[in-house]
Amino acid sequence: MTVQVSVITTSSLGDRSYLADDGEVAVVVDPQRDIDRIMALAGRRGVRITHVVETHLHNDYVSGGRQLAQLTGAHYLLAGADQVAFDRVAVADGDVAPVSDRMRLRAVGTPGHTFHHLSYVLDAADEGGWTPLGAFTGGSLLFGTTGRTDLLGQQHAHELAHHQHASARRLAELLPDGAEVWPTHGFGSFCSASQADAPESTIGREKQVNPVLRLAADEFVTETLGGLDAYPAYYAHMGVANAAGPAPLDLSPVTRADAGQLRDRIAAGQWVVDLRNRKAYATSHLAGTVSLGLDGPMATWLGWLIDWGVPITLLAETPEQIADAQRELTRIGIDRPAAAATGSPSGWAADPEQLRGLPTTDFAALAAARAGRTPHGLPDPDVVLDVRMTNEWRAGHVPDAVHVPLPDLPGRLAEVPAGTIWVHCGSGYRATAAASLLANAGRRVVVIDDRFAEAAAAGVSMTGAA
């Protein structure tokens, strides 16, 4: 039986977990908190999980490793240098974990993303001994990039970037060109310095395309640190939770809220989040709610925008959508939403006066408005608000636009100039979220629900960095 590596994708957070098995026993690497997905995969593969390993104490999600190890009786491997509040198998550079007579793991110290980061080489037995199939690289060597080095504070970012360069090169020297690279980050996670440039890769390919293997150390450090943008505020709570030992996951149904309770929660200033897609939200929604559709990275933006610990109420069309959102939120440590309601806005409103809509448009309309030909039915734009991230803004933006990244908007609403606001992002998702926040603050707002990449072709002039 050959060794097989299966990928468990968490696209909403931009991460991957892995299950490697030899047909009888399995190793799980960097599991997300909702471990039922992994247990189901192991069941389909017909294998027993004997080892659970973490490449590092994660900053972008709550780990399910401890609970998975407890449920399966597996060995739980973490870096011995990390201080945690629970029992685990302490691992250091050079340690070998025999999994079966057909596969084993070798720990390789790869500091950079964190100080005590480990990668794990997966070896398979053959007639000549052991052959390295690849390495689980966590937040070290990614596809065309590396893990970011500033999550432990700017004071460590430069030192860790140098470590990251040395670690990636060590992996490249240790492994043959054909060895697979299996990273945890890089697929949308803010834990990576930039996004993955391919769906899969090998050491040989990374030698050709990855800046960390092509640039000298100082050049890599300068380029990497210069390209880092902000990362979600909720990251501050993830490492703490993982070091303490996350509580078991509870995905039981959330308390239901009726129309009167929803009205009271909104009046109290609580977060009531509408999970429907942004077009449905723009058509009709409950005044005072925030648009964060389940069809986008809802958990990332909600965890970034809220004050940690505030009550959150979820609105969706079906109970299944509430359950999906609840699962996503538990991955970042929002364990129990305060309440939920399903159906449609008409059923959520205690009074029809609570229902609102949002006007939407596209970049062609913005170009027309800037030429003095605002389309009929839309108010003239007094302010163009760009809520993309700083790196996106620097790459090109609308002249005279006001730039407030979406995560900063709740604390900077007063800085947005007076008048009607036309708000845009890169596609419309963040713009609709921003518009809901602005409307809740009493502002008149129009959503540009369009792709920014097509703005210039629509006739909108562009400028570079301000």
**Residue carrying the six token digits 């999550």:** 151
Dihedral sign for Cα atoms in the order 237, 241, 242, 243: positive
Sign of CA dihedral 388, 389, 390, 395: negative
User: 402 — phi, psi (to 5°)?
Assistant: -95, 130
**Residues near 283 by Cβ (< 8 Å), separated by ≥ 6?**
357
Per-residue model confidence (pLDDT) at position 465: 53
Helix ranges (H only) for 227-361 are 235-244, 259-267, 278-283, 298-305, 319-330, 345-348
Rg (CA), the chain: 24
**Which residues make Cβ contacts (< 8 Å) with residue 438, sequence separation at least 6?**
385, 409, 413, 416, 421, 423, 445
In DSSP terms, 124 is beta-bridged to: 103, 131
What pLDDT sits at residue 466? Answer: 43
Residues 17-30 as b or e (16 or more Cβ within 10 Å = b):
bbbbbbeebbbbbb
What CATH superfamily is the domain 4-244? Ribonuclease Z/Hydroxyacylglutathione hydrolase-like (3.60.15.10)
Position 464 scores a pLDDT of: 81
Tally the residues of the chain.
466
Same CATH topology for 259-356 and 360-454: the answer is yes
- Total Cβ atoms within 10 A of residue 249: 18
pLDDT means per 10 residues, the chain with 466 residues, are: 93 96 98 97 98 97 97 98 97 98 97 98 92 98 96 96 98 98 94 88 97 97 95 95 93 96 96 98 98 97 95 98 97 96 97 96 97 94 98 95 98 97 98 98 98 96 77
- Do residues 42 and 18 touch, judged by C-beta distance below 8 A? no
DSSP for 126-140 reads: ETTEEEEEEEEEETS
Around 352, how many Cα atoms within 13 Å sit in the side-chain half-sphere?
Answer: 0
Residue type, 391: N
Domain range 360-454, CATH class: alpha beta
Per-residue confidence (pLDDT) for residue 193, from 0 to 100: 84
Could you tell me which CATH number the domain at 259-356 has?
Answer: 3.40.250.10
Residue 427 class from Cβ within 10 Å (0-12 exposed, 13-18 middle, 19+ buried)?
middle
How far is 121 from 97, CA to CA, in rounded Å?
10
Would you kindly state where each structural domain of the chain is located, as residue ranges? 4-244, 259-356, 360-454
Please give the structure tokens belonging to residue 329.
Answer: 């939120």
Pairwise CA distance, residues 356 & 333, whole Å: 31
Q: Tokens 């390993």 identify what position? A: 53
Distances, alpha carbon 322 to alpha carbons 255, 318, 327, 434, in Å: 11, 7, 9, 22
CA-based nearest residue to 196, from 209, 187, 208, 206: 187
Q: Which whole-number Å values give the CA distances from 334 to 86, 184, 312, 337, in the listed order?
A: 22, 21, 9, 7
Asked whether the beta carbons of 72 and 36 are under 8 A apart, the reply is: no
Rounded to whole angstroms, what are the CA distances from 162 to 146, 151, 168, 356? 12, 15, 10, 52
Burial of 371 from C-beta contacts in 10 A (0-12 / 13-18 / 19+): exposed
Q: How far apart are CA 206 and CA 224, in angstroms?
A: 16
